[in-house]
Copies of this chain bind each other. A is one copy, B any other.
Amino acid sequence: MIGIKDLYSVLTAVVPLYVTMFLAYGSVKWWKVFTPEQCAGINRFVAIFAVPLLSFEFVSRINPYKMDLLFLAADGVSKVLILFALLCWANFTKRGGLDWSITVFSLSTLPNTLVMGIPLLKSMYGDDKEYLMIQVVVLQCIIWYTLLLFLFEYRETRTEVLSKFKESSVSSKNCCSEDEVINVIATTSSNQQQQQQQQTAQNANKIAPDQSQRFRPMVAASMEDGTSTTCEKQSVQAGQREESSSTAKGVESVKQENVENASIPSSFSPSMLLKILRKVWLKLVRNPNSYSSLLGLSWALVSCRWDIKKPQIMENSVTILSSAGLGMAMFSLGLFMALQPRIIACGKKLALYGMVARFIAGPAVMAIASIAVGLKGTTLKLSIVQAALPQGIVPFVFSREYNLHPDVLSTAVIFGMIVSLPITIVYYIVLGI
């Protein structure tokens, strides 16, 4: 049974996070302390220095030879279960689609373990459980974010292939080879990538919903084509389902002109897969979080193997900025909230779905997976509460970069932070009975 004292100690850990967020929110929204560009500076500092150093600091302290394999298995199984279910839904149902699969995967499986999870769950289940959280963080950074990036790149490349194919077949009235299309994409996409990155840097705090329609009309047009094969249909269903409501009228008119374009490259060759992997790799090596987790893990492997300690100078050089990480991350979140025009950017209905995915579906699947692999007692509770944390920031950053439902993810981050405290505490109390 959870007592008042336990609850107080949880609040002691969590309320300061909210106070910091509130300070940041107020200093932009009411007190006009920072301009948007100045906020971008703080956010950049957090993204490039504070949070990577914080995760390095945590990760480098674990013992990779004594991981809690059962706990990690539960985490892995739950994510694979959800991913499998979503891919089935995308491929074998009429209403399913890759776009929403990616978003729902982000929503239901990737909580904010580093910033919210560690202080919150330490206060709930004791300091000695911190290492479990850190292990989840390591896997999240090294495996799941990589997978998420792969899904995003896969989606983008596929959309580009289809649109390029459409373009070239319209202009030349001849079907060019898939390799040619790939070459065109490889050149243009690297330029686009650079441009996009510049934009991302500049608009670091704004969602750009106006860009989100970039590729859709073309894809939709090709999809409505009555002569395309089932295989094609399958691989482009993602866009189709999403477009079906919003651009239905526009599509109707384009449809008439494009009936002559028959065959579209359906699935990807190994060379295409390599190119996608290369792009994912490029994204990863540019992300300071990848470095910090990998460096931290390498250090942990070396130091535990040969029992080496970090020199005090190095340790202090990291902690001087990493100790800023937690507070600054929450501050940055508050700035982000204040810069959004609305708290619920995606509409109430989508926000509700998002909350269900985050706070009910995610923990439920985690509970099933945890019980299935045989977790018991505190570890079982921990794994469920961990799955009910508010939305992680990294999936939101990706969604903004790839323009895939950034409004939904932004709402999940912001609104999720607000509602998560009572929800997590309810989970904590219910599991404590």
Measured between alpha carbons, how far is A41 from B312 in the docked complex, in Å? 31
Q: In the complex this chain forms, how many copies of it are found?
A: 2
Measured between alpha carbons, how far is A34 from B42 in the docked complex, in Å? 10
| Set of chain B residues within 8 Å of A326, measured between Cβ atoms | 320
| Set of chain B residues within 8 Å of A323, measured between Cβ atoms | 323-324, 327
| Set of chain B residues within 8 Å of A34, measured between Cβ atoms | 41, 44-45
Nearest to A12 among chain B residues (CB) is B312
Q: Say yes or no: is A331 at the interface (Cβ < 8 Å to chain B).
A: yes
CB atoms of B41 and A320 under 8 A apart: no
| Set of chain B residues within 8 Å of A12, measured between Cβ atoms | 312-313, 316
Measured between alpha carbons, how far is A331 from B328 in the docked complex, in Å? 13
Q: Say yes or no: is A20 at the interface (Cβ < 8 Å to chain B).
A: yes
Task: Give chain A's interface residue range (CB within 8 Å of chain B).
Answer: 35 or more
| Set of chain B residues within 8 Å of A15, measured between Cβ atoms | 313, 316-317
| Set of chain B residues within 8 Å of A331, measured between Cβ atoms | 45, 49, 321
CB atoms of B48 and A41 under 8 A apart: no
Task: Given the known inter-chain contacts A23-B49, A44-B33, A48-B33, please indicate yes or no for A320 contacting B38, CB distance below 8 A.
Answer: no
Task: Given the known inter-chain contacts A324-B328, A328-B324, please indicate yes or no for A313 contacting B16, CB distance below 8 A.
Answer: yes
- Closest-CB distance, A181 to chain B (whole angstroms): 35
- Closest-CB distance, A48 to chain B (whole angstroms): 6
Q: Please give 13 more A-B residue pairs, beta carbons under 8 A apart, in addition to A37-B41, A38-B38, A324-B324.
A: A12-B316, A16-B316, A16-B317, A16-B320, A19-B320, A34-B45, A35-B41, A37-B37, A38-B40, A38-B41, A39-B41, A49-B331, A321-B331
Give 11 A-B contacts (CB < 8 Å), ordered by A residue: A12-B312, A20-B320, A27-B48, A34-B45, A37-B37, A37-B41, A41-B42, A321-B331, A323-B323, A323-B327, A324-B327
**The 4 residue pairs across chains A and B that have the minimum distance between CB atoms:** A38-B41, A324-B324, A41-B41, A320-B327
